[in-house]
Chains A and B, each alone.
Chain A
Amino acid sequence: MSERHRLRSLGTFVLLNGLIPIRTQPLYLVNLLASPLSFMFFLTVVSHGVLLRWGITGGLILTMLSAGTGLQSDLTHYRHDLKFQDIVVASPVEAPVYVLGMALSELVYSLPGLAVFVVLFVADGLASPLSLAVLTGVLLLVWGFATALAFTLATYFQDVRETFMFSPLISLVLTVLPPVYYPLAYLPGWAQVVARFSPTTYAAALVQGAVHLAPLSTASAALDWGVLGAVTAALFLVAAFKARWKEP
């Protein structure tokens, strides 16, 4: 497949799974907005406004994470119920093009959420060239590792119902337990250690540091980028070698 063909395929997947479904069900657009906004609302009310900024940065991370992990139910449904993956496998489309195309299509659903949180981010004075650059990099890495994880899992699930079980677990491990919506210091010592096993802890620390919500030394920032990059690379490798594009 030439580069031109690959681009056509990518565009087709965005249209097929992103833009066209919205035509039949516009509510898809607010679907990914609901959870991050709820978290932010809840934290802001309970903390009398103190955690609003944490809610905004957390909301941005959760929105991108959901855009990635949301892929698992779509891919599982298409693979099992419609045999769509089999149709794609028996075609010139390569697995990375399929995954990237479908991942970009999921991003379409997260655009309203991103727009809302970016507006809040700017309106609350959190935006600066540095914070925007850090935010962009972090969100891309979060989206990347979530997509790789979702694709790998989707090729193992035997039924779409399994994704209903895994989604809340992933959400718990990657967004609720780690300090995405609140300072790491709020957690007891042992929980801070446990939180270090979640890549979103590092993502949140980078964004929170860039907007001066939490202190972040250069060494810590380097470590956070390193861990986040390594986790993303590792999950891409797992997707490349362990995902079942062709069934065993």
Chain B
Amino acid sequence: MEPAIVARDVTKVYPGSRSGAPALDGLSLEVPAGGVYGLIGRNGAGKTTFIRIAATQLEATSGSLTVLGHSVRGEERAIRSRIACVPQESRPLYFLRTEEVVYLYLKMRGLPTDEARRRTNAALEELSLVEYRKRLVNRLSGGLRRRTLCAMVLASDADVMFLDEPTTGLDPIARREVWQAVRRASREQRTILLTTHYLDEAEALSGRLALVERGKRVLEGTAVELRGRVRYPYRVTIWGAVPREELDSYGKVSPIEGGFLVFASEEHARELARWALERNLRLSLGPVSLEDIFLEVVGRPIEEETPLADDTNGAEAEA
């Protein structure tokens, strides 16, 4: 099947950028049709810029990008008829009721009344918003507003949906409800391009993932493939008084409360586990998390912001 999104060497330098530093620096990606594709990276890495270019909201400086086979440069109309987007930091119009946000969005897209009502009811049900349906959105919490926007876009049944940090500010239960709706949409062969700060969310939802750092793609693949591409795909935690020198030969060792965390290759992880069991040490062994991979590849935790080249354009600062 043809990929839903194909980006080749996409570069974006914001007009007025004093340093001329690119927000996207030759980014190439292929997002398969159907399923969830996760774009992960630190704040300011270029995720939102990429989504905005793919959603035809922003011009790229150079490179090519097609969505459903149509170029974002010159064939926007063909793309727009088949996409929907929850932009980062978007908020519903505050004077609307929750159900109106979803219903009027569907009507705005040209759906007939009956269909819009049916889909609105289903979306409110799916995202547990029924009890708030008559409430004005300015009386909802930030999380509920965000959930309402997710309901709005997921109800559209667009072929490609862009969700830019859709679950920011949601409590764990609400996040899972959004996940469920996203999974439902992906099962129905919709393509969802998702950015998130929550690496557990990216891993739980995404078939494939791309890790973006300073406007470049640094790693891409399924979670299993990503683990296969790092030097240490396993993490072994050992509790007890162990001389650190004895662990150094197995991989990368970090001290933790009451023991050590060792990142190791599969072979070394197995050897280390055997070594620990022989000494009656308590241990846990498993594949590295996405967070571990991120830390290894980027060298910094995902929570740490990317320093901006300059602050001439607020759009470069992705919150």
Residues in A lying within 8 Å of B, measured CB to CB = 1-2, 4-6, 8-9, 11-13, 15-17, 20-21, 23-25, 78, 81-84, 86-94, 158, 246-248
Contacts and interface: CB of A to CB of B under 8 A. Distances in A.
A12 B108 contact: yes
Contact of A248 (B59, B86, B108, B162): B59
Contacts of A158: 314
Interface size class of B (residues with CB under 8 A): 35 or more
A87 B87 contact: yes
Contacts of A12: 104, 107-108
Contacts of A13: 108
Nearest to B314: A158
8 contacts: A6-B110, A8-B112, A9-B110, A15-B104, A23-B95, A24-B95, A87-B90, A90-B80
Interface stretch (B18-26, B50-58, B194-202): B50-58
By secondary structure, the A interface counts as helix
B77 interface: yes
Nearest to B156: A91
B204 interface: no
A8 B110 CA distance: 6
Given A82-B92, A246-B76, A92 B59 contact: no
Contacts, number: 102
A20 B100 CA distance: 10
Contacts of B29: none
B100 A8 contact: no
A20 B109 contact: no
B96 interface: yes
Given A246-B59, A248-B59, A20 B95 contact: yes
Contact of A90 (B57, B77, B107, B314): B57
Given A83-B88, A86-B85, A90-B84, 4 more contacts: A2-B110, A84-B90, A91-B108, A93-B80
Contacts of A84: 90, 93
B255 to A, nearest CB: 44
